[in-house]
Structure 1
Amino acid sequence: MKAEAWIFGITAAFLVVVTPAYWFITGDWTGTSALTMTTLLAGMMTLYLGFHAAKMDPRPEDRQDAEIADGAGELGFFPPYSWWPLWCALTLGVIVYATALGAWWMFIIGAALGAIALSGWIFEYYRGEHAH
């Protein structure tokens, strides 16, 4: 995790330099606000990863004396393909479109279909081909 903390730290340092330069050059408050929030987010991630890297045992990729075999084994669970994120995104699109138009009937239809799609995505590993 030390490598990740360094990456975010370098990014935060870069943004500390770029944010005031952007404001002096453009005078744009919107972009300056976005860069300020990005700087704070990168700094927060640096602190989080730095504190946790100090408390954790080093991973194989963090050690200089590590061998390739040290990283062998199960890496985690990787889900197979799923159509549910597509349906969730489409129903969210319907909801946003309905809100923009002010069509509350379309919003209700999108919310109902969105609840079905979200339930399908959450419970997809309890039934069907990929049930556990």
Structure 2
Amino acid sequence: MAEGLHHPLSPALHRVLRRAVLDHATAEHRKAFLPLVHVGVPGRRETVFAVRPDEPSDHALRTDIVSAMVRRVRQPGAAPMVWLTRRDPLEAQDVDLAWLASTRSAYGELGLPLLMVVVNRHGWRDPRSGLSRSWHRLRAPAVG
């Protein structure tokens, strides 16, 4: 089987991925912003790294950054997920592929299963399998 997410997703995973999109859509209102790498669980514990185009970055440095982020948030149980938030459409971009390669290396070195998605204000996409989900009008679930 190919890497990444495939149908059917569990209801719990669907809720977590939807939460990542909703959190990004409600928190980021600027038209232009830096891509952010998140490691953790959306809506719970997470750590964030801003991807600045003016800072030097290579595969090894990105791998070290992801490893440090995982160690900061890791708790017993499931491995933390990685999500990259950005403003552009969800088609694969260089920034996605660079961070995917480094995240793969970091998770491989740590012996953890990898769950990584790219998120914008309207949806998410798995850069490995291409599986995606988007919403026209994403709203917070009703509480009651």
The answer to whether the superposition gives a TM-score over 0.5 is no
Which range, TM-score by smaller chain?
A: under 0.3
TM-score (norm. length: structure 2): 0.20
TM-score (norm. length: structure 1): 0.22
Say which structure is richer in strand.
2
**Higher RCO, Cα 8 Å, sep 6+:** 2
